[in-house]
Structure formats: structure tokens, C-alpha cells
Amino acid sequence: MLGAVLVLSGMCPGDSVFVSPYRLTWPADLALTGAGAGLALSGFFLEDGDPPAWDGVPLDPSGVPAFDRWTVNPYSRELDDAGTALQLAAMATPAVLAAADTDQWLTIGVMYAQSVLIVGGLKNTMKGLTDRNRPYMYTDEPSPEGVADGDRLNSFPSGHTAYAFNGAVFTATVFQEYFPESPWRVPVIAGSMSLAAATAVLRVESGNHFFSDVLAGAAIGGLTGRLVPGLHRQDDRPSEGLSITPLPSGGMVTLRF
């Protein structure tokens, strides 16, 4: 006797039909991790050693492109520390993804670690290829530590901004995939991106970076935070809608929503 079974299912974590939007493939992941480590090491090899001595005379702001000249600010320890705090907060936003099923934590953790490694490698390499003085070197109030250890020449790009936007965009991208209907989606995205944007503002206001530095940092951080999850995306998840599966004694109608 022929029969039919109607199955109704919702597409959300915890349901029996849930399939992760991401997948680890260890050969590819090892290669991706190795590429990030290689980039990180390249930045150290590109360093020129001891920086040239500074004669104590502020640099001439007229040598700064007009696009960036308005962001020449004196150094501020308080704003520097505040920017670092916000960067760390933005980097910690992927913690909200712990709301996903525990069997997804390894995948999420590996993806985020790879993104941090790659963005750090890109930042180190770009800094190693450029010797751009920080904005505070064009004022009478430079950073004593920056002058002493040569960090004054590491203006481009903004590493704080790169890490902050990497964390924020990674969080926004992955949270939407796991919880597309969550009422927390907008607050999570808005909150994480606000932390990253505030980090960029404070890096400029503290005298550490020009506007173009934070733009470059936001670009490499955002692209990495988006690209790494995209490389792990799997497209063979059950799709929404109606499907009919033949069975020996009839058929099964499945409605996924």
C-alpha cells in the first residue's frame, strides 16, 4: 500500500536538519594557516634594523599630502590606551558566536584564528615595506617610546584598526549565517562595527595615524574578516522550500522553512 509522510522542519541550529554553513577541510586549512604565518614572518624580515636617529626637530607638515594633513595630531597617551582597549573589545566580539552549537566551536575558532593570523601578516608586511612617520612626528609632542624604539616609522597601515575591523566583520558575517532570523542580529552587527570605527577614530585622535592609515587598516581587516569565512562556505546545505523524496512504499514530502 502506498503512503506518504509530510515532514515540517525549521532551518535553525539545534534542529535535526541543521547543517553548518561552514566546513573545515584540513589540507586547505593547513595551507591557509601556512600562508598567514608566512606573511607574518615576512614583515619581520622586511624590517630594516635600527631606525635612523631623529634630530629632535618636528617634521614639516607641508610634506604630508593634503588628504591626510588635517589628521596631524600631537601624541596622547590617554587616547592611545583607549584605542587599544577598544581594539581588544572589537577583537573579542566573536565571543558572541559561542551561542552556536558546541560542535561548531572548532570551525568558528579555526576560521577566526586564521583571519587574525592573515591580517597580522598583511599588516606586518605592509609596515615592513613602508617607513612612514606617524603624525605626532610633525608636532612638538611626539611619543617618547615611539621615538626610542623606532615605532615612529610604523604609521602605515593602522594595525589596531586592521585587527578591530577583522574581528567586527568576522563577527557580523558569521553571526548572520548561523542566526539569520535572530533579533540580536542588528545589535551584534552595529555593536561590533561601532567598536571598530571608534578604534579608528581614536588612532587618529591620539596622533598615531593619518586618515589613510586607518582606511587601509579597515580595508585589510574587513576584507580578511569576510574572506576567510567565505573560503569555508559550503553550499550543499538543505535549501528552503518543498521537496519530494521517493520511498519504497510511497514518498516523503519535506517542507523546510
Quick one: pLDDT at residue 128?
Answer: 87
Residues 30-46 pLDDT 10s: 999 998 888 888 877 77
What's the pLDDT at 54?
86
- Rounded to an integer, what distance in angstroms lies between the CA atom of residue 128 and that of residue 220? 15
Computed over every residue of the chain, the mean pLDDT equals: 86
The region of weakest confidence among 38-42, 122-126, 158-162 is: 38-42
> Residues near 164 by Cβ (< 8 Å), separated by ≥ 6?
86, 87, 90, 91, 195, 196, 199, 200, 221
Question: Do β-strands 241-247 and 250-256 pair in parallel, antiparallel, or remain unpaired?
Answer: antiparallel
DSSP state, 56?
S
Higher pLDDT pick, 150 / 230: 230
What is the SS3 assignment for the chain?
Answer: CCEEEEEEECCCCCCCCCCCCECCCHHHHHHHHHHHHHHHHHHHHCCCCCCCCCCCCCCCHHHCCHHHHCCCCCCCHHHHHHHHHHHHHHHCHHHHHHHCCHHHHHHHHHHHHHHHHHHHHHHHHHHHHCCECCHHHHCCCCCHHHHHHCHHHECCCCHHHHHHHHHHHHHHHHHHHHCCCCCCHHHHHHHHHHHHHHHHHHHHHCCCCCHHHHHHHHHHHHHHHHHHHHHCECCCCCCCEEEEEEECCEEEEEEEC
Q: Distance (Å, rounded) from C-alpha 155 to C-alpha 158?
A: 6
pLDDT for res 48: 60
Q: 195-241, pLDDT tens digit by residue?
A: 999 999 999 999 999 999 999 999 999 999 999 999 999 875 544 44
If one compares 26 and 2, the residue with the highest pLDDT of the two is 26
Residue 123 has pLDDT above 90, yes or no: yes
Average pLDDT, stretch 37-60? 81
Distance of CA 176 to the CA centre of its chain: 15
- On the question of a cis peptide bond just before residue 157, with omega within 30 degrees of 0, the verdict is yes
CA distances (Å), 34 to each of 7, 23, 105, in order? 45, 18, 21
pLDDT-wise least confident of 8-12, 80-84, 250-254: 8-12
Where are the domains positioned within the chain?
58-237
